[in-house]
């Protein structure tokens, strides 16, 4: 028998108390792992989603650049527009590798077979120039298979064809060749216009906002929304992307009226920072959970020490040194924390899909793909944290036990 | 008898407590020797100082006056851990309450002192020790599956596993009925006779106390009388 096995056996004396204490630690650890997983997963998802926009710099109407960026990621209302001739002014810039104009508008879906309970049946329409858009996003491909075969882009002048993102098409249960009806409110007109489109193609899933978008020719979109001389953004891929180059680029175009240059790198770090602020609040709650669990552990072990006063006295009488008693009680604390940490980690991993779907259901985070990422670094970090917490939580009860005088302890145990 | 080696030697042992302004002389200038192969019982009424004396002799408590040596080495002034080191080499302990750990089997309880000595348990030795106390068939039982007498025998086996020269038993039959008490004293007598170890016992039970080779009766912290009986 060793000290460790004895520590395990001692925890079996009061199984309910031990299980409850371990459960407290496990819950705190599960919260910590889930939060760390969400933190990492969400950062990755933001970076991935922004990277998959395909461009590094955006030129957009003056306003909050982050709102516009978020809109690009998850859709929204209150769009601002910039003059369409900005494209011609900027196109000649020597640092631009490629540029694509995008017009975004919201339209109400009609004849949908599925009711949308999450704030109305709206679709994001993106007017694009296919060639320049594909230069930005060469990974876009048409879905194939039954109902998807024969997909193609619309003609530049086509007025009644759209290409649908995978999710928007499957949500509406549409196939290539089907009709798609939308009601559009053109700028300056009080009467909405109902428009029937033919679905020319359905894109493969990309894990980005493109999946939920309905694409149509730029000029058609501008005409339908009655904004023929306006764009939402200009997406730009630079020949060489660096902070200095971006600064040069920005200084050249800062004088343009009503537009601003926004680096997606800035957007990315600002969004991550904003998320980080919210996560700090959650982290505070986690710290409180950990402290509560810690107090629970100290309390349980102290109770156990007081209950075993006589035994501790006898162990000292038969030759246990102070260090032996300290080690024994300290190991019990450590065992509780380690078992709790392992259980909590398993709980967090097993429940990560549940947490993810709950978060996504509650908040539209504007990113696609998994937002909870629990990797080995998180698991190792939390286990190490639990060992450190166990180390400190065990100090006081172990010291109390080790400091007991054998005679007093035996006498107290006799009472 | 006088040629036997002295294990414990106490000279002028005192243990005074302060209770408010009052000084309680629990042990007041006692001279005592414990030699190998003898069974010594300490008798006396409650408050006579017998438990305090045994605690001093077993290095569980520190005298406020006098000197104490164990196997020729002075132990006065040693630290708590140094005293524990002296105890673990020389002494085994049995108390009125058995203090067996409830989640360990009888064999594991018996092997507990070896854990503190950092010695690997030898199951054959454990079983042999249990055989000496008549519990060899209870090795894998938990303490709650034993009777009171069996639990005290397991506690005795735990004391014997380190092969002590001196077994100290503080009211070992306080929680047992008369038949079990007699049986425990018979076991002690056998251990003295067969193993040659010394036993120091405190008891309230005069009849059992007089089964020892030497009977020391205390009153008010002093030796009232010391009687010897022929070696049994």
Q: Is A10 on the interface with B (CB under 8 A)?
A: yes
Going by C-alpha positions, the residue among A309, A335, A236, A259 that lies closest to residue A10 is: A335
Phi, psi (degrees; rounded to nearest 5) at A144: -125, 170
Which residues in chain B are closer than 8 Å to A318, comparing Cβ atoms? 87-88, 92-93, 112-113, 116, 158-159, 162
Calculate the average pLDDT of chain B.
89
Residues A75, B208: Cα–Cα separation, whole Å? 93
**Residue pair A101/A218 in contact by the 8 Å Cβ criterion:** yes
For B85, the enclosing helix (H) or strand (E) is helix B80-90
Phi, psi (degrees; rounded to nearest 5) at B216: -110, 120
The whole-number pLDDT of residue A116 equals 46
Residues A57, A50: Cα–Cα separation, whole Å? 11
Longest alpha-carbon distance in chain B: 56
**Residue pair A121/A182 in contact by the 8 Å Cβ criterion:** no
Residue B117: closest C-alpha in chain A: A319
Sign of CA dihedral A359, A364, A369, A373: negative
Q: Which CATH number fits domain B6-98+165-228: 3.40.50.2300, 3.40.50.300, 3.20.20.220, 3.20.20.70?
A: 3.40.50.300
- Whether residues A315 and B96 touch (CB distance < 8 A) is answered with no
- Given a cut of 50, is residue B222 above it in pLDDT? yes
How wide is the angle at C-alpha A244 spanned by C-alphas A240 and A245, nearest 5°?
Answer: 35
**Exposed, middle or buried: residue A245 (CB in 10 Å: 0-12, 13-18, 19+)?**
middle
Question: Which residue among B88, B96, B103 sits closest to A319, beta carbon to beta carbon?
Answer: B88
Which residues in chain A are closer than 8 Å to B108, comparing Cβ atoms? 1
Residues B190, B1: Cα–Cα separation, whole Å? 18
Residues A195, A214: Cα–Cα separation, whole Å? 13
Residue spans of the domains in chain B: they are 6-98+165-228
Tokens of A327: 């080690």
**Residue pair A334/A10 in contact by the 8 Å Cβ criterion:** no
For B81, the enclosing helix (H) or strand (E) is helix B80-90
Going by C-alpha positions, the residue among A188, A242, A210, A205 that lies closest to residue A49 is: A210
Residues A11, B103: Cα–Cα separation, whole Å? 9
Going from the C-alpha of A64 to that of each of A43, A55, A284, B80, the distances in angstroms are 21, 19, 29, 72
For B174, the enclosing helix (H) or strand (E) is none
Tokens of B18: 């302060």
- Whether residues B103 and A319 touch (CB distance < 8 A) is answered with no
Q: What is the dihedral of CA A38, A44, A47, A51, to 10 degrees?
A: -140
Q: How many Cβ atoms from other residues are within 10 Å of residue A170's Cβ?
A: 17
**Residue pair B198/B35 in contact by the 8 Å Cβ criterion:** yes
State in Å, rounded, how far the first CA of chain B is from the last one: 12
The whole-number pLDDT of residue A217 equals 94
CB-based contacts of A330: which residues, under 8 Å, 6+ apart?
A: A391, A394, A395, A397, A398
Which residues of B lie closer than 8 Å to A, measured between beta carbons?
55, 58, 60-61, 80-81, 84-85, 87-88, 92-93, 95-97, 99, 101-104, 108, 111-113, 115-117, 121, 158-159, 162
Q: Is B33 helix (H, G, I), strand (E, B) or coil?
A: strand
Residues A117, A106: Cα–Cα separation, whole Å? 17
Residue B122: closest C-alpha in chain A: A1
Sign of CA dihedral A113, A115, A121, A126: negative
Residues A70, A124: Cα–Cα separation, whole Å? 14
**Residue pair A195/A184 in contact by the 8 Å Cβ criterion:** yes
Stretches in chain A below the pLDDT threshold 50: 113-119
Q: Which residues pair with B92 in a beta bridge?
A: B167
pLDDT in tens, B86-139: 888 899 998 888 889 888 999 999 999 998 888 888 999 999 999 988 888 999
Half-sphere exposure of A208 (CA within 13 A, CB side): 19
Phi, psi (degrees; rounded to nearest 5) at A363: -130, 140
The whole-number pLDDT of residue A128 equals 93
Instruction: Provide the edge-to-edge strand list for the sheet that holds B65-70.
Output: B22-35, B6-19, B65-70, B73-74
Q: Is A319 on the interface with B (CB under 8 A)?
A: yes
Residue B56: closest C-alpha in chain A: A407
- Strands A193-202 and A161-164 turn out to be parallel
Going by C-alpha positions, the residue among A293, A240, A211 that lies closest to residue A27 is: A293
Which residues in chain A are closer than 8 Å to B81, comparing Cβ atoms? 321-323
Phi, psi (degrees; rounded to nearest 5) at B62: -115, 130
The whole-number pLDDT of residue A118 equals 46
- Given a cut of 50, is residue B151 above it in pLDDT? yes
**Residue pair B156/B195 in contact by the 8 Å Cβ criterion:** no
The whole-number pLDDT of residue A115 equals 45
Residue spans of the domains in chain A: they are 3-48+271-414, 57-240
Residues A210, A203: Cα–Cα separation, whole Å? 9
Tokens of B120: 């690997």
Q: Is A322 on the interface with B (CB under 8 A)?
A: yes
Q: How many Cβ atoms from other residues are within 10 Å of residue A315's Cβ?
A: 26
Task: Determine the distance from the C-alpha atom of residue A144 to the mean position of all C-alpha atoms in its chain, rounded to a whole number.
Answer: 30
Q: What mean pLDDT do residues B51-75 have? A: 91
Smallest CA–CA separation between B84 and chain A, in Å?
A: 5
């Amino acid at each position: 028998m060793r000290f460790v096995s004895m520590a395990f056996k001692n925890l079996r004396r009061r199984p309910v108390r031990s299980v409850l204490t371990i459960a407290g630690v496990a819950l705190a650890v599960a919260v910590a792992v889930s939060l760390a997983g969400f933190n990492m997963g969400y950062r990755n998802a933001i970076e991935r989603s922004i990277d998959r926009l395909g461009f590094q710099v955006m030129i957009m109407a003056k306003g909050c650049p982050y709102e516009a960026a978020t809109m690009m990621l998850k859709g929204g209302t209150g769009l601002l527009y910039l003059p369409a001739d900005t494209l011609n002014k900027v196109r000649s810039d020597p640092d631009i590798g490629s540029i694509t104009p995008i017009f975004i508008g919201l339209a109400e879906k009609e004849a949908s077979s599925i009711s949308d309970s999450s704030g109305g049946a709206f679709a994001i329409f993106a007017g694009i120039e296919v060639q320049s858009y594909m230069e930005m996003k060469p990974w876009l491909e048409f879905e194939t298979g039954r109902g998807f075969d024969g997909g193609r882009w619309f003609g530049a002048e086509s007025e009644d064809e759209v290409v649908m993102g995978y999710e928007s098409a499957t949500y509406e249960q549409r196939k290539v060749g089907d009709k798609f009806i939308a009601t559009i409110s053109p700028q300056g007109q009080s009467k909405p216009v109902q428009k029937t489109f033919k679905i020319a193609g359905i894109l493969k899933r990309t894990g980005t906002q493109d999946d939920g978008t309905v694409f149509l020719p730029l000029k058609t979109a501008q005409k339908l929304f009655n904004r023929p001389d306006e764009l939402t953004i200009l997406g730009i891929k630079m020949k060489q992307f660096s902070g200095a180059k971006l600064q040069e680029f920005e200084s050249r175009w800062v004088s343009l009226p009503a537009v601003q240059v926004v680096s997606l790198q800035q957007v990315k770090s600002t969004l991550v920072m904003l998320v980080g602020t919210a996560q700090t609040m959650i982290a505070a709650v986690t710290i409180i959970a950990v402290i509560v669990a810690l107090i629970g552990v100290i309390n349980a072990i102290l109770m156990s020490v007081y209950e075993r006063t006589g035994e501790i006295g006898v162990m000292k009488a038969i030759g246990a040194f102070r260090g032996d008693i300290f080690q024994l009680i300290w190991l019990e604390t450590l065992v509780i924390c380690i078992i709790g940490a392992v259980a909590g980690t398993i709980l967090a991993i097993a429940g990560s899909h549940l947490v993810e779907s709950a978060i996504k259901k509650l908040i539209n985070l504007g990113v696609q793909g998994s937002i909870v990422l629990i990797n080995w670094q998180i698991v190792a970090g939390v286990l190490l944290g639990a060992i450190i917490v166990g180390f400190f939580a065990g100090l006081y009860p172990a010291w109390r036990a080790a400091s007991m005088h054998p005679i007093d302890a035996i006498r107290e145990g006799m009472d | 008898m006088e040629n036997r080696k002295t294990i414990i030697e106490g000279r002028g042992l005192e243990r005074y407590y302060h209770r408010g302004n009052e000084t309680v002389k629990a042990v007041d200038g006692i001279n005592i020797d414990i030699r190998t192969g003898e069974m010594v019982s300490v008798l006396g009424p409650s408050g006579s100082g017998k438990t305090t004396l045994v605690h001093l002799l077993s290095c569980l408590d520190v005298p406020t006056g006098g000197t104490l040596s164990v196997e020729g080495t002075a132990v006065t002034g040693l630290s708590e851990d140094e005293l524990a080191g002296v105890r673990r080499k020389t002494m085994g302990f049995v108390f009125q309450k058995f203090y067996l750990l409830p989640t360990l089997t009888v064999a594991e309880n018996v092997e507990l002192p070896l854990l503190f000595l950092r010695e690997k348990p030898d199951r054959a030795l454990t079983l042999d020790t249990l055989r000496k106390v008549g519990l060899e068939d209870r090795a894998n039982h938990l303490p709650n599956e034993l009777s009171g007498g069996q639990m005290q025998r397991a506690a005795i086996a735990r004391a014997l596993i380190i092969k002590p020269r001196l077994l100290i038993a503080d009211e070992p039959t306080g929680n047992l009925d008369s038949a079990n008490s007699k049986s425990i004293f018979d076991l002690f007598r056998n251990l003295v006779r067969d193993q040659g170890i010394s036993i120091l016992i405190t008891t309230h039970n005069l009849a059992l106390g007089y089964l020892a080779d030497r009977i020391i009766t205390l009153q008010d912290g002093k030796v009232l009388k010391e009687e010897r009986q022929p070696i049994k």
